[in-house]
């Protein structure tokens, strides 16, 4: 099913379209949620709460910009709001070196090695890389 059609049907509270939307984006949104959580269970809870908000507010999406980006922002805001309410924030190490080096053997450079190297970088680098490359 085409994404615009799924969105339109979700706006009409079509449960099959809502399930399709969840299947399409749950893995990506879980990855976003996990970055803002302390553990897997918390990430799942934030994903589910965020997805409920997405479905409740889907009629507010104006088809300007990325729908996936809109959903990611809701999941992030859901996680952050939970921490604000609980007044518990995960500890983040803000000590970032000016220069980050990652050793890569050029002979074995494949997608998996590249992604593993990206995972070692601080978020400010990975967010830029992922948005500029994909």
- Give me the DSSP letters along 104-127: --GGG--HHHHHHHHHTS-HHHHH
State CA 120 to chain mean position distance: 18
We report the CATH number of the domain holding residue 82 as 1.10.1740.10
Using N-to-C axis directions, what is the helix angle for 3-11 and 15-35, rounded to 10°?
A: 110
The pLDDT value recorded for residue 65 is: 87
The pLDDT value recorded for residue 105 is: 60
Radius of gyration of the chain (CA): 17
Q: Indicate whether 79 and 98 sit together in one domain.
A: no
Q: Indicate whether 12 and 59 sit together in one domain.
A: yes
* pTM assigned to the model: 0.62
* Tens place of pLDDT per residue across the chain (134 aa): 699 999 999 999 999 999 999 999 999 999 999 998 878 999 999 999 999 999 999 999 988 889 999 999 999 999 988 878 776 555 555 555 555 565 656 666 667 766 776 666 655 544 544 555 44
Name the domain count of the chain. 2
Q: Indicate whether 60 and 98 sit together in one domain.
A: no
Q: Indicate whether 15 and 41 sit together in one domain.
A: yes
Final residue in a domain of this structure, among 70, 86, 102: 86
Distances from the Cα of 56 to the Cα of 23, 27, 33, 60, angstroms: 17, 20, 18, 9
Domain span holding position 52? 3-86
């Amino acid at each position: 099913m085409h994404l615009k059609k799924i969105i339109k049907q979700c706006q009409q509270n079509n449960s099959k379209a809502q399930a399709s939307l969840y299947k399409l984006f749950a893995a990506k949104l879980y990855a976003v949620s996990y970055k803002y959580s302390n553990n897997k269970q918390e990430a799942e809870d934030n994903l589910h709460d965020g997805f409920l908000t997405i479905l409740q507010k889907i009629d507010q999406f104006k088809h300007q910009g990325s729908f996936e980006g809109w959903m990611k922002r809701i999941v992030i805001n859901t996680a952050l709001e939970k921490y604000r309410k609980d007044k518990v924030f995960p500890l983040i190490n803000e000590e970032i070196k000016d220069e980050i080096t990652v050793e890569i053997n050029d002979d074995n450079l494949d997608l998996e090695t590249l992604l593993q190297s990206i995972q070692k970088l601080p978020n400010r680098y990975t967010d830029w890389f992922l948005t500029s490359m994909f």
